[in-house]
Structure 1
Amino acid sequence: MSENSFSNASVLVVGGAGFVGSNLVHMLLQQDVREVVVVDNLLSSDVSNIPADKRVRFVFGSITDDRILAGLPEDLDYAFHLACFHGNQSSIADPFADHDNNTYTSLKLFERLKNIRSLKKVVYAAAACAVAEKTYDAPTATTEDQPVTLYHDSPYSISKIIGELYGNYYFQRHGLPFVKARFSNVYGPREVLGAGQWRGTVHTVWRNVTPTFIWRSLNGEALPLDNGGNASRDFIFVEDMARGLMACALKGERGGVYNLATGRETTILDLATYINEFTGNATPLDLRPARDWDRSGKRFASTEKAEKDLGFTAQVDIREGLGRTVEWTVANRELIARSISKHDKLMAQVN
């Protein structure tokens, strides 16, 4: 197997039934891998995302399960740790579940992987939001050496930082070939609203802003804009994210950290406007006050290091990506509707 290729590689994808993980698995299968082991407890993912390919072995359960850890192949070449308790609002509602599915998963997995000597890279899904400056003024690009605050908006943000810290420890103490891939806001096909189990809040269904806006827009609803939609994010298409993760595995420096982003800022107001344009939704936008817990404001990430060291640049711009995501949502409307409907009674009780 070449150091610059996944050909004939044995790959572990923890969280491989999820939105990002499944896109990564599909892309790895195009690289002539030998096998992909997908571990997922389907807490916030859908089994339909797992490709029917003889090279894929699906293991249902949490990566914290000692039986599952013991059964991992001893000849793994690459591991991607993408499992998490999605997302900020769910972690605020249940910090203990966030700990079990974010912090504890990282510790258990890294402890197991330190003994697999064939590993070339372990890529961890870190979060750029956990290090980004909190501002509503003109933002500057978040760099990889951005200072990390001790004050965070959510347990999710905290646990993502702890995952980085544990990975750094295992890299220094045990030589784990650990690489941190800091995610910007990912969107695109295979993000199924309501996928998985009820997690105590309506955010079990209404997750990231992009799929929520697309679904509501397709149904002719008013898109809600917290703080008037003046917050901004760096939105990266999921196929670009998968390519970035693969670049981290093949070219990332052991112990290194890389932003996977576009380097471009898009306001939530612009996002809503684009989506309504693609769906033909003429319902006026719903302007609301800011969320009481959220001080994240405006942000985008620096792409300089990833371009220089990994040769990675995002290829899909926001308008193309949104158009493709709207098309996928329309094509999978029945699947999404079923996924949402299984939570309807519980959402009604919360509301």
Structure 2
Amino acid sequence: MSKHLLITGGAGFIGSNFIEYMLKNSAYSITNIDALTYAGQIDNMMTFKKYPNYRFMHCDIGNRDSLIKAFDRNYEFIINFAAESHVDRSIENAQPFVDTNVSGTLNLLYALLDGKAKKMIQISTDEVYGSLRSDDLPFTENSPLTPNNPYSASKASADLLVRSFYQTYKLPLIITRCSNNYGPRQHNEKFIPKVITNALNEQKIPLYGDGKNIRDWLFVEDHCRAIRMVLEHGEPGEIYNIGGGHERTNQEVITFILDYLNKSHTLIQFVEDRKGHDRRYAINWGKIHKELGWMPQVTFREGLIRTIEWYKNNNGQQKR
């Protein structure tokens, strides 16, 4: 008999890629729940319907009355991808980020406490660690939480709730923190999709500040492999950093995309820097490599070309 997974936020970018990966590479039965906000795309799930071990339920983890209908069976694992994750939107209005990222996580923890699942993985972000200087060593699992915007503060809050439920109730909980993901099906408000779609449509590409902000890029397929390893071999109470090992400035990323598409660099438009804009992220993934044997397999060049080609083949845009 196959084991049942509850995937939250499976209509979003990382969640839908993980479901696709698991449906193709495992025998797990999957229940996918999503509130289908702006970040959740029905198109992301269209190919899943052909799998008999998959089902979708429309519900909001931030609403306990809505969430309860998903627990018509007991799950082996809850994997919580559901999150508001757009920093600019969190600066404009933090309330939805608290509702989903904090209250929603708490609702899932209560479900675990009630015996509705055996284990839970909280999918978090390196942004909870704050910003690095150019000469700082990459973040480790022991780095302090110093979030600098409402989005990362809401994710750090959720992580602390998860830790508290592990310490207080001894629940089998694991946290993963990933670096910046990229790949197919990402919402076009995100950095790389926006650059690609604007370039394809000959539109100006906004570049914050001096363009020297650095991110550590992780191809989403590599992230999915890491989560599966944590699911099957990770230890309760642990935190696992998942990084790509590909640090690039924002300007370097834009330049690569423009050159690959044979577009003019004059499309770059420098704009006023964003409030609370972290200067650099870099993540040390030595722990997950040493303990679980994971390491990224997709080079940044390969992953970015695959991503660009996906957007070219999907009319240069991610549908809303």
TM-score range, shorter chain: over 0.9
Q: 1: CA distance between counterparts of 2:145 and 2:301?
A: 32
What is the TM-score with the length of structure 1 in the denominator?
Answer: 0.84
1:31 to 14, 25, 28: 25
Give the aligned partner of residue 86 of structure 1. Answer: 85
Structure 2 residue 128 is the aligned partner of structure 1 residue 146: no
Judge conservation of contact 1:9–1:77 (CA < 8 Å) in 2.
yes
Secondary structure at the aligned position of 1:16 is classed as coil
- Per the TM alignment, residue 292 of structure 1 is displaced from its structure 2 partner at its CA by 4.3
Secondary structure at the aligned position of 2:221 is classed as helix
Letter in 2 for 1:145: N
Give the aligned partner of residue 210 of structure 1. Answer: 192
Give the aligned partner of residue 308 of structure 2. Answer: 326
Structure 2 residue 299 is the aligned partner of structure 1 residue 317: yes
Structure 2 residue 177 is the aligned partner of structure 1 residue 182: yes
Q: 2: CA distance between counterparts of 1:42 and 1:272?
A: 30
Q: Percent identity?
A: 28
Q: 2: CA distance between counterparts of 1:143 and 1:73?
A: 38
- Per the TM alignment, residue 223 of structure 1 is displaced from its structure 2 partner at its CA by 2.7
Q: 1: CA distance between counterparts of 2:241 and 2:150?
A: 21
* Residues 1:263 and 1:283: Cα distance change in structure 2 (over 3 Å): closer
Q: What does 1:70-149 align with in structure 2 at a 5 Å threshold?
A: 70-116=69-115, 119=118, 121-135=119-133, 137-149=134-146
Q: 1: CA distance between counterparts of 2:138 and 2:24?
A: 33
* Residues 1:315 and 1:34: Cα distance change in structure 2 (over 3 Å): closer
Q: What does 1:1-351 align with in structure 2 at a 5 Å threshold?
A: 8-43=2-37, 44-50=39-45, 51-52=48-49, 53-63=51-61, 64-116=63-115, 119=118, 121-135=119-133, 137-149=134-146, 152-193=147-188, 206=189, 208-286=190-268, 288=270, 291-333=273-315, 336=318, 339=320
- Per the TM alignment, residue 242 of structure 1 is displaced from its structure 2 partner at its CA by 0.8
Letter in 2 for 1:62: D
Q: Which moved more, 1:82-91 or 1:216-225?
A: 216-225
Judge conservation of contact 1:153–1:293 (CA < 8 Å) in 2.
no
Judge conservation of contact 2:80–2:121 (CA < 8 Å) in 1.
yes
Question: What are structure 1's unaligned runs of at least 5 residues?
Answer: 2-7, 194-205, 340-351
* Residues 1:191 and 1:47: Cα distance change in structure 2 (over 3 Å): same
Q: 2: CA distance between counterparts of 1:140 and 1:289?
A: 29
Q: 2: CA distance between counterparts of 1:159 and 1:238?
A: 22
Q: 2: CA distance between counterparts of 1:283 and 1:313?
A: 34
Letter in 2 for 1:142: F
Secondary structure at the aligned position of 1:138 is classed as coil
Question: What are structure 2's unaligned runs of at least 5 residues?
Answer: none
Judge conservation of contact 1:235–1:262 (CA < 8 Å) in 2.
yes
- Per the TM alignment, residue 324 of structure 1 is displaced from its structure 2 partner at its CA by 0.5
Q: Which moved more, 1:19-28 or 1:214-223?
A: 214-223
- Per the TM alignment, residue 334 of structure 1 is displaced from its structure 2 partner at its CA by 7.0
Letter in 2 for 1:122: M
Give the aligned partner of residue 199 of structure 1. Answer: none
Judge conservation of contact 1:114–1:175 (CA < 8 Å) in 2.
no
Deviations 1:19-57 (A, max 9, x none): 000010011112333410101011111011111122111
* Residues 1:187 and 1:127: Cα distance change in structure 2 (over 3 Å): same
Q: 2: CA distance between counterparts of 1:317 and 1:100?
A: 36
Deviations 1:52-107 (A, max 9, x none): 12211111120233243254144311111011112211111111111111111001
Q: Which moved more, 1:179-188 or 1:67-76?
A: 67-76
Q: Which moved more, 1:275-284 or 1:105-114?
A: 275-284
Letter in 2 for 1:148: L
Judge conservation of contact 1:12–1:37 (CA < 8 Å) in 2.
yes
Letter in 2 for 1:24: F
* Residues 1:290 and 1:335: Cα distance change in structure 2 (over 3 Å): closer
What is the TM-score with the length of structure 2 in the denominator?
Answer: 0.92
